[in-house]
Amino acid sequence: MPERPSAQARVWGVAALVQAVGDTLAARFSSCVVKGEISGFTRAASGHGYFTLKDEHGNASLRCAMFRRALSQVDFTPGEGMLVEARGNLSVYEARGELQLVVEGLQRAGAGALYEQFLRLKARLEAEGLLDAGRKRAIPRFPSRVAVVTSTAAAALRDVLTAMRRRSPHVEVVIAPCAVQGAEAPAQIVQAITNVTLSHHAGMQIDAVIVCRGGGSLEDLWSFNDERVVRAIAGCPIPVICGVGHETDFTLAEFAADLRAPTPTAAAELVAQDQGASLAQVDALSRHMAHRVHQRLDGLAQGLDQAAVRMARPAQVLNRQRQDLSLLEHRMLSACQARVRRARQQLPHLQDRMTRAVSVQQSRQVHSLQSWEARLSALNPHKVLERGFAWLTDDSGQPVTRASQAHAGGKVTGVLADGLLRMNITEVTLDAASRPDRPPMPDTDDR
């Protein structure tokens, strides 16, 4: 039989025990600082913040509550995976009997281990070019078959199927099941994408692939930060739309995909055009095309009627052409006469200008001729002879310009301004500067 409690043992009520534990914790840990990674941060409509602090290895966690006044003093936006130091008081949330930290101050302590791993892998993949925007392919506007890679038990699959049936019920949906969370999820996601690719190459035309799952913490979504999954999405020959988590969640799979959707439902809406809107657009285009065709036919019919009228009355056409020809002839004659009158009016003016131009040119030529005449006169040899100079030549008629060319007893002819002189040379005297150098006299000692 079970042992009955002793008479001295105190029997606690649940509320009293929880309150006592809370008082003990508040007294023992009145103010403490806890370091850990933020997970599952949410901000309530009241402005209060709620999140979980986890150690870097994921072995322990602590629920935290941060009231609006304290949260408004934080100088950064708390995010998934951030490594922070939270200062506050330990207490017990009596409604659930859960241990929680009421945070009064929050400051960064550096990026968390998972977040640091995320950043390192992202930087390496960017260096390889796998996340470049230039690799992105356009999603077909009107697909006929779409593959969905997700868990069959996930709410995300139901959301995608509901959106597809609502917007494009004619689009065939092929489900590639896989786990989306846990240690086995990355390999299964890669295998599901591979199966879709094999089916596409085998002849099943697949226009787009949706890779999706619902929201969760950084740890829950970590399968979509696995390098194998990222490379499988980047290497998929079919355009991929990735909708993982909520709008504030970002994974490397979304960076590698051709299009990122904030939610799984949004991914379905992006790949499947609304059937009603598409039909309305087709109807509007059809009406516009019919209107333009009718306009074109009406214009051609009017042109045909006018041509038929012209062909039915050729005499009228000829008369009209004659009238046009007569009018053009009259206009051309009037234009020629007007041109002749203007030319006649300008003729006296042009004659006067030409007379003045000839006179000016003649004066310039006369002045130039007189200038050349004066220059030639100055260079005339007779003018030089008239100034007292003479021109000497030897017996052969060669000019004598130096005294060294003559010798005593020779003859020269002198040309003067008014005649010739026959002269005999009795003596030749040379300037000292023009005398040739004599050889030095021999030294008497050398004889």
DSSP 308-366: HHHHH-HHHHHHHHHHHHHHHHHHHHHHHHHHHHHHHHHHHHHHHHHHHHHHHHHHHHH
State both tokens at 65.
């509550």
* Mean pLDDT score, 158-175: 91
State the pLDDT at residue 447.
Answer: 36
Band (189; pLDDT cuts 50, 70, 90): very high
Sign of the dihedral defined by the CA atoms of residues 121, 260, 58, 188, in that order: negative
Percent of the chain scoring above 90 in pLDDT: 32
Q: Given pLDDT bands bounded at 50, 70 and 90, which one contains residue 344?
A: confident
Mean pLDDT score, 61-68: 92
3-class DSSP assignment, residue 101: strand
The mean of the pLDDT values for the chain is 85
Does the global pTM surpass 0.95?
no
- What pLDDT score does 401 carry? 82
How does pLDDT run across 198-257, given as a tens digit for each residue? 999 999 999 999 999 988 777 788 899 999 999 999 999 999 999 998 877 788 999 999
Give the best-scoring range by mean pLDDT among 5-14, 207-216, 297-306, 403-412: 207-216
Average of per-residue pLDDT across 386-406: 82
Question: Does the pLDDT value for residue 440 go beyond 80?
Answer: no
Residues whose CB is less than 8 angstroms from the CB of residue 84 and which lie 6 or more positions away in sequence, other chains included: 35, 36, 37, 38, 53, 78, 106, 107, 108, 109
The torsion angles phi and psi of 53, rounded to 5 degrees, stand at: -100, 130
Q: Is the pLDDT of residue 190 over 90?
A: yes
| pLDDT tens readout for residues 116-142 | 788 888 999 999 998 898 889 999 888
Structure confidence at residue 445 (pLDDT)? 46
What number is the average pLDDT over the span 417-433? Answer: 82
97-106, 243-252, 272-281, 295-304: least confidently modelled range: 272-281
Mean pLDDT over 382-402 rounds to: 81
Which one is predicted more confidently, 183 or 197? 197
pLDDT in tens, 357-387: 999 999 999 999 988 988 887 777 777 777 7
